[in-house]
Structure 1
Amino acid sequence: MRADAASSYLVADIGGTHARFALAQADGTPGTPVVMQTCDFADFPQALSAFIDKHAKGPVAAAAICGAGPVSDGVIAMTNCPWIIDRRQIAAACGIAEVEIINDFTAIAHALPHLGLADLDRIGGGEADPAAPAGVLGAGTGLGVSGLISKNETAIALSGEGGHVGLSPASDRELEIFRHLLAERGRISAETILSGPGIATLYRTLAIIDGAASRADEHKTAALTAEHITQRAAAGTDARAVETLDLFSGWLGAVAGDLALTLGAKGGIYLAGGIAGRLGPLFNKTLFRQRFEAKGRFESYMAAIPCYLITRDNPALIGLAALLRQSRDTAKSS
């Protein structure tokens, strides 16, 4: 990657609801992001052009962009947003010579080596093994999953769609929820519950199976968003809202534990995404950790693995900027 000193480097993190754009500094640090609503733009190139026209002071030499969806031949068809992110379209429409497209949680995995203890809130476990794999997951509009594997001093970030794996019940209450959702949907993925829309689904399902939602108020319950439910739980006026967030916390721990087992993630499990951090004390870390470790014969193995809540803002942009810097360094040495 070669560019003159006046060139800009752009990073962008595109979620189902928000699009975050920033210009990366020469040392690989992203600048202050500009946050846009995806619903305000017809497509991604329109939003990208609006950012470049207003904020870029020179040509954009290269861009690293991540989105919430699988990457296929340089294209992301967003999972929870109608946008298409196409590397070739971006290069042609915006005149950017080099464009890198990756999954949003792959970008967060790239950020892990650049986070310090001040950027993390530890949730139990022992000390992380820096040479071992690490896992990343987080709930927002959807559920993102990735991992980081180190080999010969090179960090390799994984790209996948682990948020769509199956979810398992572990109590009679969870079985009740499953029976209702199976009849309604036919399949329950982790993202069905572990996402913003999933919190609303969980609350509505609890109301129905408890017989609390009459036909007259079913539409009112269905209209409640994760934000509304969180507000009710924080106010202490709605026991069902509190139960919803407890169930969310426990199930997130179970899925995080499955990821740790799959990767052998003795390097730790890192929670990103918007929901866990925004919940504050309503995120039940005790239940999370209990379910994380509850893996039968592997409980002692799991007890040693640390979990961390990423508290630093915009880790995906940090990972994207690091990826651009790595590309520049590789180009200089070639």
Structure 2
Amino acid sequence: MGNPSDGAPQHGGTVATAGQSGGAFEDPGIPPHRLRLSDTDPKAAKRAERQVTALFIISVIGTVVFLVSYFAIDLGPTSTVDTIRTQNLLLGFGTAFAMLGIGTGIVHWAKSLMPDHEVSEARHELRSEEDRQAAVKIVDDIIEETGIKRRPLIRNTLIGALALAPLPALAVFGDLGPNATDMLRHTMWAPNAQTGKKVRLTRDPDGTPIRAADVTIGSAFHVIPEGLNDLKENKNNEKAKAVVLLMRLNPEDLHVSPGRESWNYNGIVAYSKICTHVGCPVALYEQQTHHLLCPCHQSTFDLTHECQVIFGPASRPLPQLPIEVDSDGYLVASSDFHEPVGPSYWEREYS
């Protein structure tokens, strides 16, 4: 930067040179305001108003296109790839026009019709009723300057666009399915509602029932509910909720909470195989330490203390399946899980 004393011109003539007036800089003030075409030509202002209105109407049309394509196009079992592609295309265009119409309309409104002159005001605390009334008047002036009161066409189309814009999101979120905790709280382990018959524990994947005598100390079984292999529909979904790990420990090694004394049978315990972190299968059993390990993120559960978390990101124990032995010596579930299986954020939603 040049030295002021070397004869270089000073822009605007408002900056004091070093040594003059204590070396302070003078306020150059607000630059002159340049009027826009819409400020001087009523026809241009009316044209800009129609353009803004058209953009808001485009947003409304985009939202309607999204809703019609979302609900009117049937994606049933007979739908083709072309049908799915057409719906996705309409959903994408509908969302794009709905959002861009509002955004570009507001920007165009601000740049072409709202006042663009700069104002400089001293900031001070509002200490009196007169100050508060002056602040209210400033807000009223701002609303008046936007023209929203005297331009009902823009106002009404903007209200319509903003009112319809959230509907696509509500439609999508509402179609995500039932509450996860409602689905994950109830599994095939629940006794038959009519007969009260309890579900046997069977080997995964062949479905062979498991006798208590078959489970030795240190052994581990991957277990599914009896009847799972007979399902024709939703077999994988039901299995994903109901898979269980079955192990036998020395009963003296188990630390049982009050009320859970009958949930195991002579040291045989059953726990959900679904990790409470993000739902990976807990498939590794360390016989020496009695630890269950999730291979995805290394969450570790202590089998001797009701599968409490001892390491890793999981925030709650694996749900325990209460078990007993029927009159034929086979292991059965005495009830369903007492809490939702799966990731903890679903359990927090439930509670």
Shorter chain as normaliser: what TM range? under 0.3
Question: Which structure is higher in strand share?
Answer: 1
Larger Rg: 2
Where relative contact order (Cα < 8 A, 6+ residues apart) is larger, the structure is 1
TM-score by length of 2: 0.20
TM-score by length of 1: 0.21
